Amino acid sequence: MFARNSAVSASCLRYATLLGALLAAGASPAADAAFGPRPGAALSAEKLAPIEGFINGEIAAGHIPGAVVLVQRHGQPVYLKAFGKRDVNAGVPMTLDTIFPIHSVTKTITSVAAMLLVDRGAIALDDPVSKYIPSFADTKVGVERKDESGRPVLDLVPPRRPINIEDLLLHTSGITYGFYGAGLVKVAYQGIYLGDFDNAGFAERIATRPLAEQPRTLWDYGHSADVLGRVIEVASGQSLYQFEKQNLLDPLGMTTTKFFLTDPAERARYAQPLDKDRHVERNSLNVTRWESGGGGMVSTVGDFARYGQMLLDGGKLDGKTYLSPATFAAMTTDHIGPGSGVARNYFYYPGDGFGFGYGFGVRTGPGNAVPPPPGSLGEIKWDGATGCYIVVDRAEDMFFVVMQDSPSGRIHVITTVKKIIYDAFEN
């Protein structure tokens, strides 16, 4: 099945090499003596108690409206609580069935869906994107320079090689976002959201924009996952949601994870941000056509309990295998570290101590901070613009989820909750 997919085979070899080195050094394959809990350490429920005081303090200070936190270990919830209000203005309390916009955590689901197709041989990591979306055959790279008068101009040059599926998964395609950073390529993305469109139409819009850099030269966060969503549609013959619903969401029992909320009862359960954060709002309450694979889904903590456990179990759950061991290993292996040729800049969102796999940040070391941020070697994670956050730590047989709709207050919440969780290990 993987004969035509050399990238998967190579990644598995790298994973096996890393695993062998760790074992030879006497380390757990997903833990390191320099940081993280002591192997086999117990997780103290009593020491998780500060989560409540911290989050309630953030609510009282007006930083966030509320949140839901789940910590699950050895297949059982260790901590599960809802805090604050689902709708501050209406005085509606937060509940465990609250529906949250998950924004960029959608990218992880899109990536898993794509790897389902890789496992089935329907797509290959080294397939050019133009095989599925022909207009990408004409994509050019934007190179900014100064003309004779000193004004910036944009030259369009051919890519050294076509963008492929792996580039979309790794955010190394050169497809960027236009709403952060500066330069003429960013300017070229202005107006990209105007009007009504579906995944096919949006992919065509992206294909007309210049790439920000040559493929596989820089980790550049952008619309790669949205284009990947369209690839899934072409390869499967279904809409992105229908493919995910049939092959991933329904089998997992993730019945509230979707792109749009049309049921009045579900709409009533939607988490509302504070008034100051309403500029970062998904259109999940409106009926449109764009199923954004990069940031369009909503979900609940109950659905993410299923999703997180499937990831913790290596791509399987309740006797059903979603991802083969080789594919799961490839997804959770760093592909952009030293020697890969992929650079990092100020906007490298995986952060210090993390590489990147197919849709997830992957912990590769303690990082440069002293003391290092909490976690374990090999943990995978991602978060979204409103503060949905998932961390899967296979070394500790644990994952945790933070659900919130708090664009301006999210970072302090997720970093502090993670610290409290890892401080709760009995080292």
Give the start-end residues of each E strand in 279-397.
298-299, 316-317, 320-321, 354-356, 361-363, 380-383, 389-393
Q: Is the C-alpha dihedral spanning 338, 104, 92, 241 positive or negative?
A: negative
Beta bridge partners of 79: 71
Q: Which two tokens stand for residue 26?
A: 């006497």
Interatomic CA distance for residues 378 and 187, integer angstroms: 37
Interatomic CA distance for residues 136 and 129, integer angstroms: 7
Q: Which two tokens stand for residue 398?
A: 């644990």
Ordered alpha helix ranges (H), 39-174: 45-48, 50-60, 106-119, 165-170
CB distance 75 to 81 below 8 Å:
no
State which H helix or E strand residue 332 sits in: none
Which domains occur in the chain, in start order?
6-103+112-116+247-423 (3.40.710.10), 123-236 (no CATH)
pLDDT tens, position by position, for the chain (427 residues)?
333 444 454 444 444 444 333 333 333 333 344 578 887 899 999 999 999 999 999 999 999 999 999 999 999 999 999 999 999 999 999 999 999 999 999 999 999 999 999 999 999 999 999 999 999 999 999 999 999 999 999 999 999 999 999 999 999 999 999 998 999 999 999 999 998 899 999 999 999 999 999 999 999 999 999 999 999 999 999 999 999 999 999 999 999 999 999 999 999 999 999 999 987 555 566 657 899 999 999 999 999 999 999 999 999 999 999 999 999 999 999 999 999 999 999 999 999 999 999 999 999 999 999 989 999 999 999 999 999 999 999 999 999 999 999 999 999 999 999 999 999 999 7
Interatomic CA distance for residues 175 and 51, integer angstroms: 38
Q: Is the C-alpha dihedral spanning 104, 117, 199, 250 positive or negative?
A: negative
Parallel/antiparallel/unpaired status of strands 298-299 and 398-403:
unpaired
Q: Which two tokens stand for residue 133?
A: 């979306």
Ordered alpha helix ranges (H), 25-139: 45-48, 50-60, 106-119
CB distance 106 to 176 below 8 Å:
no
Interatomic CA distance for residues 152 and 148, integer angstroms: 10
**Which single residue is written with the structure tokens 């009995």?**
426
Interatomic CA distance for residues 82 and 392, integer angstroms: 20
CB distance 297 to 102 below 8 Å:
yes
Radius of gyration of the chain (CA): 21
Q: What is the DSSP string of 257-313?
A: -BS---SHHHHHTBPPPPGGGTTS--STTS--S---TTT--EE-HHHHHHHHHHHHT
**Which single residue is written with the structure tokens 């009282």?**
60
Q: Can you give the pLDDT at residue 311?
A: 98
Q: How far, CA to CA in Å, does 299 sit from each of 33, 55, 97, 206, 302?
A: 36, 21, 9, 27, 8
